[in-house]
Structure 1
């Protein structure tokens, strides 16, 4: 194999493909990055039996071939090369990189022992890359981090015609985002439980192109596969990952509530106030929201050592006709901050039903308008001391 390509093209491609390499591979061969030169391009790929990544970039190919080399090491080398064209040559045992006066020789791994990458499923539809990235970021914050409960670490993707829904929960909070996309069929439907970490990294890494192609195969079990394809800065990127096994909890009904009390306030003002007041919040204790006519007050404390109080203007509306049905609510300060930061509107609408019951947050473009239903974030309230 003999190729020449620009240093920035090589560095960017290697860095992207190497991101999917396992930190502790189950077998040493999975630490390798597969390099294939064919036609007028080089294809770099990685695979850990769960997630695969492949990127194709333009190159001057003098001799076609395939090689397998340590991905982390190649990434470190590519990042450190001077800004000059890079010549890459490989034989049966080693790969040599020459860039200006710098030269590196790497031992190759047995490419015949490397597992075959899964085939990208047939396209299910496309979506604007920036819309997809924003939607994923708004939902994935509610996904769990505990690998012992894998179902809660995933994001459920639901397809119904031209509506694509993303849903995640860690049992203490839930997030739902509904977006319009371009399905391959007007009657397209399906569902998949995708690892949240993979989905988040994928969405972030495909924002250079105009759109992302989503490809879904199989059912909702671990035998299913989902693929994403999009354009990067220098080439086409593809990622596939196995779907998570297990039944996702039925939480959609929590996204539609009939509130007895609503609170509307400036999003950035509440974010800033939560950040300040939470400084004195003791671990595993709540940040209290005291609700009154025309205002809310945020409170937190660390025993008798420190207290914080901040009042904010708000539009408070009771829907029972019997006066304020709630006067206080307890939030996990981190969950509240995450939910508020996920909003993309100047105002936020809090919907309360009863003390101790879940609270629904929705984006609000106008203080006097109706909340947008395309994004919903539910937080389970904490019990307040009587």
Structure 2
């Protein structure tokens, strides 16, 4: 095996494939990156049974072949390689890299012990790459981090006709985002639904969101099934999580709620500012008034902060609500609109956030919604 590639493109391929490497594994070969050179192309693959990532890069291939190299070590080497072309070769059991007078030699892992990669799932349809990346980022913030509840660490993907719905919840918040997609006549068009690991899906969406379309492949089967994403020269396959998220239709029914509206960036900065004095798990209180303002307050005793902002309120003369500041900031920053609308049921109850489009923008109401539980403060 021998090839020559541009350092920037080679390092980018290694870096993106390395995101699939497990942090710890009892199977040493899963810590390796598979490099395959053939016919003017280099393919770098990372795999840990839950995700497979394959990145292609241009290369001048003098001798085709395959090699399994320790992934973290190769990534470290790529970070310090000088700019320009990189010449790589397999010399007996050593993988060498030469760039502008700098030479590295790396041990290799037994290729025969590397597990077989999953076959790409059958094509199902396509979605705009940038829109998909944005949508995944908007809902992934609501996914849980507790690995003892794996279902709640996922993002639920639902395909229904020409609509895609992404949803995530950690029991304290629930984010939902809808967007258009194009099913393929051969396989798309029906309703399919599955939960994918949020962190893995976010990595995949970011890697694919550089422009163009993302082709989605689908292989049903619960925790044994796969969803594939292909865009440009990147292919990712994610294994499904077992189960389904709780239905959110009734949760998002906010009949009788008071409605507040406020400038989003101003509220975001105000929450960040007053939250400086909060202790762990201490809330930020927002007092909305029909007179045209919201007063933010945080802290206890002598350590307090407050800021007032312009806001509107309808459906009530006043509405005091309190939120976990980190959760509220996650929700506010997930929106792109200049203003945000809050449907409020009161202290200790649900609050539903929507984006409010600016002048000349399409009304995106319902496309992205974020539900939070407000905190019932002790008197």
Flag the 1:108–1:256 CA change in 2: closer, same or farther, 3 A: same
Question: Please, what TM-score do these two structures have when normalized by structure 2?
Answer: 0.94
Residue deviations 1:277-308 (CA, integer Å, cap 9, x gap): 1111232222111122222211111x313111
Q: Secondary structure of the residue that 2:250 maps to in structure 1?
A: helix
Q: Which residue of structure 1 lines up, in the alignment, with residue 43 of structure 2?
A: 43
Q: Distance in 1 between matches of 2:287 and 2:180?
A: 37
Q: Choose 57-66 or 98-107, whichever is displaced more.
A: 98-107
Q: Among residues 322, 326, 336, which one is paired with 1:334 in the alignment? A: 326
1:205 alignment partner in structure 2: 207
Distance (Å, rounded) in 2 between the aligned partners of 1:260 and 1:103? 66
- Distance (whole Å) between structure 1 residues aligned to residue 109 and residue 358 of structure 2: 59
- CA, structure 1 residues 291+68, in 2 after alignment: closer, same or farther (shift >3 Å)? same
List aligned pairs for 1:149-228, cutoff 5 A. 149-185=149-185, 187-219=189-221, 221-228=222-229
SS in structure 2 at match of 1:314? strand
Whole-angstrom CA distance in 1 between matches of 2:9 and 2:346: 57
Change (3 A) 1:370 1:143: same
Provide runs of 4+ in structure 1 moved above 4 Å.
Answer: none
Q: Which structure 2 residues correspond to residues 1-386 of structure 1 after superposition, within 5 A? A: 1-185=1-185, 187-219=189-221, 221-231=222-232, 236-293=233-290, 294-301=292-299, 303-318=300-315, 323-324=316-317, 327-366=319-358, 372-386=365-379
- CA offset digits 1:85-137 (Å, max 9, x no partner): 22211144222222232222222211011001111101211111110111011
Report how many residues are paired.
Answer: 374
**Can you list the C-alpha shifts for 1:139-180, whole angstroms capped at 9, x where unaligned?**
000000011111110000000011000000000011000001
C-alpha separation in 1, matches of 2:319 and 2:262: 16
**How far did residue 84 of structure 1 move?**
2.6
Unaligned runs of 5+ in 2: none
Q: Secondary structure at the match of 1:340?
A: helix
Which region of structure 1 is more displaced relative to structure 2, 74-83 or 34-43?
74-83
Distance 2:363 2:289 in 1: 21
What is the aligned-residue RMSD (CA, Å)?
1.8
Secondary structure in 2 matching 1:29? helix
